Chain A
Amino acid sequence: MKKSGILMIIGSALLLGLFIYPLWNIELGAPQYPDPLAMNIYIDGIEGAEEFDIQNIDGVNKYIGMKKIPKPEEMWEFKVFPLVIGGMAALGILLGILGFFGKISPHWFLGWFLLMMVLGLLGMYDFNNWLLDYGTDLDPNAIIKLKDADGNPLNYKPPLLGTQQILNFTAHSYPRAGAILMFIGMFLTLVAWWVGKKEVRGRKVT
């Protein structure tokens, strides 16, 4: 089970990319912002793509009463996410090593993958909730108060994934290197399970 063990180790180690690269990016372009404002979302906080982008996004959002972009200490997620990702990477690497020496069944790899999927979906759900709150929990004294066709306050939630027009801004929300490495890594762990199963079957035949 050497090959699958190595794949598992590499796959779960790729999660560690999230400590270097951003998970997600939300870019806000408008006619008067030919160089769009953008924020990079890391597992431990949010940073502007350019030094003063966060300050400038807050400045623009003030008009419609949106809250300020949270600082790391203002959201529990930025403390928990690094622990979860670090823990899952460590667990995956441990499983890979055990698999490499044939101590465990490849189904453990699948188990890790499924756990990671659940955690990932929870993370996405939480992220979406934050975006929803950010886009709808508005200051009642906002300078600009707009209503939709039904008379409800306009929802300024940026998309979880994709592109959407919000007033004069076009918001693009897409995964970045950290998330892409994570997706590749998770795919590799699935491959590890597949390859591991074959290796085990091969060994049984001989």
Chain B
Amino acid sequence: MKNILKIAAVGLLGIFMQACNNGDSSKRSGGAMASNVAERVYVAPGEHDEFYGFFSGGFSGQMSVYGLPSGRLLKVIPVFSQDAEKGYGYNEGTKAMLNTSYGFVPWGDLHHVDISQTNGELDGRWVFTHENNTPRVARIDLNTFETGEILEIPNSAGNHSFAITENTEYLIAGTRFAIPSPQKDISIDEMKGNFKGPLTFVKVDQETGGMEIDFQVIMPGFNFDLAHPGRGKSHGWMFATTYNSEEASTLLEVNASQNDKDFIVALNWQKIAEYVANGGGTKMEAEYAHNKFDHDTHTATTEMKKGIMTVDPKDVPGAVFFMPIPKSPHGCDVDPTGEYIVGSGKLAAELTVFSFDKIIEAIASKDYDGEVYDIPILNYDNILAGIVKEPGLGPLHTEFDGKGNAYTTFFISSEVVKWSLSDFQVIDRKPTYYSVGHLMIPGGNSQKPFGKYLVAMNKITKDRYLPTGPEMNHSAQLYDISGDKMELLLDFPTIGEPHYAAGIPADLVKNNSKKIYRLDENKHKYAVKNESETRVERDGKDVHVYMTMVRSHFAPDNIEGIKVGDKVYFHVTNLEQDFDVPHGFAMIGANTAELLVMPGATKTMLWEPKKEGVWPLYCTDFCSALHQEMQGYVRVSPENSSIELSWSLDGE
């Protein structure tokens, strides 16, 4: 009954607010309601945000999760870099996630993020992302908000262009830094014609989200920059910008900016996938790491794989085309209907919009304007849908609101510009602070955008916040785009350099979020499910401690018989089955990060005691009223000591 009254009251309030809004809509930007900006981003204490925003952490290597519209940081998910806070990449269970064919790499440059889709709409199953420096792609599971898998992309460098097809069939990973393919020792001067820009197609298992490299299309040695999938009518195609069609290897800022036009590649991946499925392609030598985190064993494993299938675009006629685009394009975005492909030449003073229908027509009638490396170039004038004239300086990225409008960021003129897809006229422009890179509208890169908010991710912060020395966090800005004019609502700092973000209504994700790991499903090799099973075992120099934690003690918490030179593995299981009761574990002198163990999980720390003595261990995460008392001791004896292993809790 109380609830019914509450709902009725909220309903009435809603009608009242609506009435106010209606009365004020004509002068929204300057009227009384303009002063309620704070209210529109205010999410009351204890209330939840309407959207999740998954933000690329750029050179932090991690992904951050924000609530929108509040701009509150909810979590940082470690992906490509070690994270001392969570022990990710430090402890024995997660180290393998950062293995590559170059060995263990503790850092990565996380770039674009994208949420999985079904029928071109966000489905909230997984977030995928990729790494630029050591080419890799990764999957984040949205039931645990943890990195579940990292797959290295061999025969590539500068993995920058990234796209997910509209049923999450494929992840597409491009090559930004053209390289010899396969790698070999040749003079850099020989780049032209000898370097390649492979585009990798990673197949996604629809049940598990598991990733496998299906094939690699060995494109000419241009720099592939940004990619987007076709959708709706253009499903089955993908589009990616290239710069440096000059194939310069030095002083690219000048030498890669000479050609009047570079290219967007239009590639029919369905056709190539079919070609490969029918036995097409050439096997090439390659070595790459495939790392998986198993949520049942709480352990990551690395499998080193060999060999990939490659496809020469010449061998699949009618699958790959170039579309000319003015000067060093960056963004390449596809509207929700799949008809328009927006190219942003970052040195151009206009935006080019191509028509998918016209592209198909031009291909059918072989309306070519020459070819490059045997790949036909489509006739620019005949595939054009329109040009947005004088929109701003330095266009980068475009997203869509699903109401026939496009929003493009302009890095040089520091603004976001709204324009119409029906007449290509500019509707509105708002400044950003400063030098905006990417922008994000929840679902703005899908068939079904949720066109309520727009987030601009700025590269330069300067005076937007209290100064924090020479280094300032990057800054994002939230705009309300529900009206005709955009309204700036909020600034909030972001971590690293967000190259992109993906937003999704919270309702599509939050109910799948786990509260605990089930202890009875814990298959960790060294897990113990209750205190009576805890023990310490020696195997030569290796000592395995089967330890549990529960509020507020370790079992065992006193251990003797450890010797200098031992390798002590603490396998610590959190016995709690209660939401948000993690325990931490730290050992003095351990040359690694703490363990942070979620309820029902097991994590392993390696400690190599170097000095005799009695050394404490303790819980690092304030777990309970007696958290301070959650501690214990390990006695370390000389290497030749004859003291037998013993362990206890409360003398037992």
Also in contact, A52 and B626, with CB within 8 A (given A59-B550, A59-B551): no
In the complex, which residues of chain B have a beta carbon less than 8 angstroms from the beta carbon of A63? 625-626
A55 is an interface residue with CB less than 8 A from chain B? yes
- A55-B578, A56-B577, A143-B626 known, 10 other contacts, Cβ within 8 Å: A35-B579, A51-B577, A52-B516, A52-B577, A55-B577, A59-B550, A59-B551, A59-B576, A63-B625, A144-B625
Asked if B579 and A59 sit within 8 Å, CB to CB, the answer is no
In the complex, which residues of chain B have a beta carbon less than 8 angstroms from the beta carbon of A51? 577
B583 to chain A minimum Cβ distance, whole angstroms, is 13
Report the nearest B residue to A56, measured CB to CB.
Answer: B578
CA gap between A143 and B624 in the complex, in Å: 12
A123 to chain B minimum Cβ distance, whole angstroms, is 30
9 closest A-B pairs by beta carbon, nearest first, are A52-B577, A56-B578, A55-B577, A59-B551, A143-B626, A52-B578, A63-B625, A56-B577, A59-B578
CA gap between A52 and B575 in the complex, in Å: 12
In the complex, which residues of chain B have a beta carbon less than 8 angstroms from the beta carbon of A56? 577-578
In the complex, which residues of chain B have a beta carbon less than 8 angstroms from the beta carbon of A52? 516, 577-578
CA gap between A52 and B577 in the complex, in Å: 6
Q: Is the interface on chain A under 10, 10 to 19, 20 to 34, or 35 or more residues?
A: under 10
User: For B576, B578, B579, which residue has the most chain A Cβ atoms within 10 angstroms?
Assistant: B578
In the complex, which residues of chain B have a beta carbon less than 8 angstroms from the beta carbon of A55? 577-578
Report the nearest A residue to B519, measured CB to CB.
Answer: A52
Provide the main secondary structure of the chain A interface: mixed
User: For B516, B577, B625, which residue has the most chain A Cβ atoms within 10 angstroms?
Assistant: B577
A104 to chain B minimum Cβ distance, whole angstroms, is 43
In the complex, which residues of chain A have a beta carbon less than 8 angstroms from the beta carbon of B550? 59
In the complex, which residues of chain A have a beta carbon less than 8 angstroms from the beta carbon of B579? 35
Report the nearest B residue to A60, measured CB to CB.
Answer: B551
Q: Which residues 50-95 of A have a CB within 8 angstroms of B? A: 51-52, 55-56, 59, 63
B46 to chain A minimum Cβ distance, whole angstroms, is 8
In the complex, which residues of chain B have a beta carbon less than 8 angstroms from the beta carbon of A35? 579
B529 to chain A minimum Cβ distance, whole angstroms, is 12
B577 to chain A minimum Cβ distance, whole angstroms, is 4
CA gap between A153 and B46 in the complex, in Å: 36
CA gap between A56 and B551 in the complex, in Å: 10
CA gap between A56 and B578 in the complex, in Å: 7
In the complex, which residues of chain A have a beta carbon less than 8 angstroms from the beta carbon of B577? 51-52, 55-56
Report the nearest A residue to B577, measured CB to CB.
Answer: A52
B312 to chain A minimum Cβ distance, whole angstroms, is 56
In the complex, which residues of chain A have a beta carbon less than 8 angstroms from the beta carbon of B578? 52, 55-56, 59
A36 to chain B minimum Cβ distance, whole angstroms, is 12
In the complex, which residues of chain A have a beta carbon less than 8 angstroms from the beta carbon of B625? 63, 144
In the complex, which residues of chain B have a beta carbon less than 8 angstroms from the beta carbon of A59? 550-551, 576, 578
Could you mark each residue 112-148 of chain A with 1 if its beta carbon is under 8 Å from any beta carbon of chain B, else 0? Answer: 0000000000000000000000000000000110000
User: For A52, A56, A143, A144, which residue has the most chain B Cβ atoms within 10 angstroms?
Assistant: A52
A81 to chain B minimum Cβ distance, whole angstroms, is 28
In the complex, which residues of chain A have a beta carbon less than 8 angstroms from the beta carbon of B551? 59
CA gap between A35 and B625 in the complex, in Å: 20
Q: Which residues 548-602 of B have a CB within 8 angstroms of A? A: 550-551, 576-579
Report the nearest A residue to B600, measured CB to CB.
Answer: A52
Report the nearest A residue to B576, measured CB to CB.
Answer: A59
CA gap between A56 and B516 in the complex, in Å: 13
In the complex, which residues of chain A have a beta carbon less than 8 angstroms from the beta carbon of B626? 63, 143
Q: Which residues 594-652 of B have a CB within 8 angstroms of A? A: 625-626
In the complex, which residues of chain A have a beta carbon less than 8 angstroms from the beta carbon of B576? 59
In the complex, which residues of chain B have a beta carbon less than 8 angstroms from the beta carbon of A144? 625
Residue pairs across A and B with Cβ atoms less than 8 A apart, 17 shown, are: A35-B579, A51-B577, A52-B516, A52-B577, A52-B578, A55-B577, A55-B578, A56-B577, A56-B578, A59-B550, A59-B551, A59-B576, A59-B578, A63-B625, A63-B626, A143-B626, A144-B625
Report the nearest B residue to A63, measured CB to CB.
Answer: B625
In the complex, which residues of chain B have a beta carbon less than 8 angstroms from the beta carbon of A143? 626
A58 to chain B minimum Cβ distance, whole angstroms, is 11
In the complex, which residues of chain A have a beta carbon less than 8 angstroms from the beta carbon of B516? 52
B380 to chain A minimum Cβ distance, whole angstroms, is 60
CA gap between A51 and B600 in the complex, in Å: 14
B600 to chain A minimum Cβ distance, whole angstroms, is 10
